[in-house]
């Protein structure tokens, strides 16, 4: 039972007298497939990681936030959650669910002074991304990124820090793209401006 496992983590924080007022949910993996060829069992596993793990963790820690009348929940989604992709349907659907969950939590628990926002990374220069993408793919992708670079992990960390701080005290339910403007211009952009 996942909830029971997570309650052990929660109980440990209570034993140590920790108050978790900032919860960052960051988990996910994707697989390339179209709808017809999608492995349903793999999709269920992906949804369990990309969305349900977030749901479990939030459920466990939300009670404590409600009791303390304070909390900031930051969910890591993906730019793929709002921009359809020809080969990552399952991942996009899972992360779109994260966006919906973010906004529903924001609305339901605002009265308890709990804020919930999501950060949507674009192409980030992590070790995993660089190892799994060819130079040709990266070059082609960056033609559609107005800032014309891959993001750095620090770009995501800074967005999370903003949502966790008092600087965003009047912001909740927001879906923040941290993607260098990817998806913003028309499809012609990459063929003309970024030649």
Catalytic residues: 91
| Helices and strands, counts by H and E, the chain | 8, 4
> In degrees rounded to 5, what are phi and psi of residue 133?
-130, 135
Q: Which residues, including other chains, have CB under 8 Å from residue 121's CB and lie 6 or more apart? A: 76, 78, 79, 151, 155, 156, 178, 179
Q: Scanning the structure block, which residue is given the tokens 């989604």?
A: 77
Q: Is the distance from CB of 97 to CB of 47 less than 8 angstroms?
A: yes
Q: Is the distance from CB of 173 to CB of 116 less than 8 angstroms?
A: yes
Other CB atoms closer than 10 Å to residue 70's CB: what's the count? 15
Q: Scanning the structure block, which residue is given the tokens 């890591």?
A: 76
CA distance to 98, 151, 156, 179, 183, per residue, from 138 (Å): 26, 12, 19, 14, 15
């Amino acid at each position: 039972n996942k909830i029971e496992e997570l309650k052990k983590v929660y109980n440990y924080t209570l034993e140590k007298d920790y108050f978790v007022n900032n919860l960052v949910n960051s988990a996910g993996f994707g697989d390339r497939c179209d709808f017809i060829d999608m492995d349903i069992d793999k999709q269920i596993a992906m949804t369990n990681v990309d969305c349900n793990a977030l749901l479990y963790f939030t459920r466990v820690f939300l009670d404590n936030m409600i009791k303390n009348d304070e909390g900031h929940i930051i969910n890591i989604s993906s730019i793929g959650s709002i921009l359809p992709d020809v080969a990552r349907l399952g991942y996009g659907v899972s992360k779109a669910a994260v966006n919906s969950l973010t906004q529903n939590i924001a609305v339901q628990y605002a009265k308890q002074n709990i804020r919930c926002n999501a950060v949507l990374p674009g192409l980030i220069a992590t070790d995993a991304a660089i190892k799994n993408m060819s130079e040709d793919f990266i070059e082609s992708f960056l033609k559609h990124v107005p800032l014309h670079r891959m993001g750095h992990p620090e770009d995501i960390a800074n967005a999370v820090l903003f949502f966790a701080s008092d600087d965003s005290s009047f912001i909740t339910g927001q879906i923040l793209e941290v993607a260098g403007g990817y998806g913003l211009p028309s499809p012609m952009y990459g063929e003309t401006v970024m030649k």
